[in-house]
Amino acid sequence: MSTKPTFTRYQVFIIVLISLLQFTVILDFMVMAPLGAMLIRILKITPSQFGWVVSVYAFSAGISGILAAGFADKFDRKKMLLFFYTGFVLGTLLCGIAPDYYSLLAARMVTGIFGGVLFSINMAIIADLFPLATRGRVMGFVQMSFAVSQVAGIPVGLFFANQYGWHMPFLIIVGVCLVTGFCIIRWMQPVTAHLKERAAQKPLLHLARTASRKEYIIAFLSTVFLSTGGFLMMPYSSTFLVRNVGVGERILPVVFIVAGASGLIMGPLIGKWSDRLGKYRVLIFGSVLSIVMVSIFTHLSISPLWEVLILNTLTYTAVMSRLIPSQALISGVPEMKDRGAFMSINSSVQQLGGGIASVVGGWLIAQDTRGRLLHYDVLGYVTIGAFIACALLMYYVNRYMTQKTQLSAQRV
C-alpha cells in the first residue's frame, strides 16, 4: 500500500505562491462577471458590447500565448513569470483608470496579452516540480484561488465598486500583485531543469513540432471544450441573477461568498479524490453533475435567496469537479522539453475557444423591455454539448496517459 505523498517546505511555498498569483489573475478576470450588471448600466452598453470586454481579453491572451510558445522552453521559467506578470499588472492598472468603454476595452486587451500566458507558465512550473501522482492535490490547492476570489476577492471588490466606483476593484488587485511580485523576486528559485533536456531548435520549429504532435492536439481540443462552458455562461451570470432571478446587486456578493466558501473545502477534496480514485473518473462525475446543474440553473426565474444559494453552490462544485482533474491529467501529457510550449499553446486555445464562446454568447443573448436576459437557456444547451465533447476527448487523453505511465514503469 502506497504511503501518502508529502511536500517539502519549498514545494509548499511554491503552491502558496502560485495560488496567490493565480488568485490575482483569476480575480482580475472573474470580477468582470459580477461587475457586468453595473458596467452595462453605468457605461450604457449592451450585453453584446460587454461580451466583447470579456472576449477581447481571451483573444489577446490566445494570440500572445501562441507567439510566446516557441520561446517558452528557452528561458528560466521564473524570469518568464516575472516578465508577463509585470505586463499583467500594467494592464490591470489601465483598467483601474479607464474613463470609458473603449478605454476599458483597450485595457482588457493589454491585460489579456500578458495575463493569458501566466497560467501556462504556472502549469509548467507545477509539472516541473511535482510528480503526476500528486498533481491532483496540487491543482486542488491551486484551484482554491477560485474559491478565495469568491469568498473574499469578489465580494470585497463589489463592496468597493458599490462604494467608490467600478474602477476600485482593479486598483486593489494591483496592490495585491505588487506584494506577490516581491515574493517571486525575493524567494522563488530559478526553474531551469527543462533547459538541460531541451534539444537546440529554433523557436518556430519548436512551436510547429509541439503544435503538430497527435497526442498534444487531442489535449488541446479537450481544453477548448473545457473552457467553452465558462465563457458562455459566466460573463452573463450576474446579470441573469439580478435581472431574471431577482437577486439585488447589493445581495449578489452573498451568492459568491457561499459558493466560494464551499470551494475552500471541496477544492482540496476533489484534488485528493482525483489522485486516489482516478482523474478521469472524477471528471466524468463532475461532467454529469454539471449537466444536471446547468439544466436547472439556466431555467431559473424569480426565486428565493436560499434556493439560489444552493443551486449556485452545487453548480460551482460541479465546475471544480471537471476543472481540477482535467488540468491535472493534461499537465502530464507533454514531455519536459516541450512543457513550456505545450502549456502556452494549451492556454492559447483555451483563451481563443473561450473568446469565441463569449462572442457567440453575446450573439445569442438579448434583453427584453424590462432588461431581463433572453435565451440564457440556449446558452445552457450549448454548454452541455461542450461538457459532453470534453468528456469524450478526455477519454483519449486518459488512455494516452495510462499507456505512458505503464511504459515508464516498464523502463524502470
Q: Which three cell numbers stand for residue 48?
A: 453584446
CB atoms within 10 A of CB 198: 18
Query: What pLDDT score does 197 carry?
Result: 62
Closest CA to 336 of 274, 272, 404, 412: 404
- pLDDT at residue 394 above 90? yes
Query: What pLDDT score does 291 carry?
Result: 94
Q: Is the separation of the CB atoms in 17 and 141 below 8 Å?
A: no
Domain boundaries, the chain: 10-189+200-411
Q: Which residues pair with 374 in a beta bridge?
A: 366
Q: Is the separation of the CB atoms in 261 and 145 below 8 Å?
A: no
Q: Which three cell numbers stand for residue 157?
A: 471588490
CB < 8 Å & 24+ apart, contacts of 358-362: 358/51, 358/54, 358/55, 358/58, 358/231, 358/232, 358/235, 359/51, 359/52, 359/55, 360/232, 361/51, 361/231, 361/232, 361/233, 361/235, 361/236, 362/47, 362/48, 362/49, 362/50, 362/51, 362/52, 362/55
CB atoms within 10 A of CB 336: 15
Q: What is the mean pLDDT of residues 81-97?
A: 94
Q: What phi-psi label fits residue 278: left (phi over 0), alpha (psi between -120 and 50 degrees) or beta?
A: left
Q: Which three cell numbers stand for residue 132?
A: 503526476
Q: What is the mean pLDDT of residues 26-50?
A: 79
**HEC string of 260-293?**
HHHHHHHHHHHHHHHHHHCHHHHHHHHHHHHHHH
The phi and psi torsions of 70 (rounded to 5 degrees) equal: -65, -25
- pLDDT at residue 31 above 50? yes
Query: What pLDDT score does 342 carry?
Result: 84
Radius of gyration from C-alpha coordinates of the chain: 20
Across the chain, mean pLDDT equals 84
Q: What is the pLDDT of residues 295-340, one digit of tens each?
A: 999 998 898 999 999 998 898 889 888 988 988 888 888 887 777 7
Q: What is the pLDDT of residues 112-125, one digit of tens each?
A: 999 878 888 888 89
Predicted TM-score (pTM) above 0.75 = no
Q: In the CATH scheme, what architecture does the domain 10-189+200-411 have?
A: Up-down Bundle (1.20)
**HEC string of 185-251?**
HHHCCCCCHHHHHCCCCCHHHHHHHHHHCHHHHHHHHHHHHHHHHHHHHHHHHHHHHHHCCCCCCCC
Structural element, H or E, at residue 253: helix 252-277
Q: Which residues pair with 373 in a beta bridge?
A: 367
Give residue 1's pLDDT band: very low, low, confident or very high (50, 70, 90).
very low
Query: What pLDDT score does 2 carry?
Result: 45
CA dist 104 and 182 (Å) reads 27
Query: What pLDDT score does 295 carry?
Result: 93
CA dist 143 and 286 (Å) reads 15
Q: Distances from the Cα of 181 to the Cαs of 74, 159, 186, 271, in angstroms?
A: 22, 25, 9, 27
What length is written for the chain?
A: 412
Query: What pLDDT score does 409 carry?
Result: 66
How distant is the alpha carbon of residue 353 from its chain centre?
13
Residues above pLDDT 90, as percent of the chain: 25
Q: Is the separation of the CB atoms in 144 and 210 below 8 Å?
A: no
Q: Distances from the Cα of 230 to the Cαs of 91, 258, 320, 354, in angstroms?
A: 22, 19, 11, 8
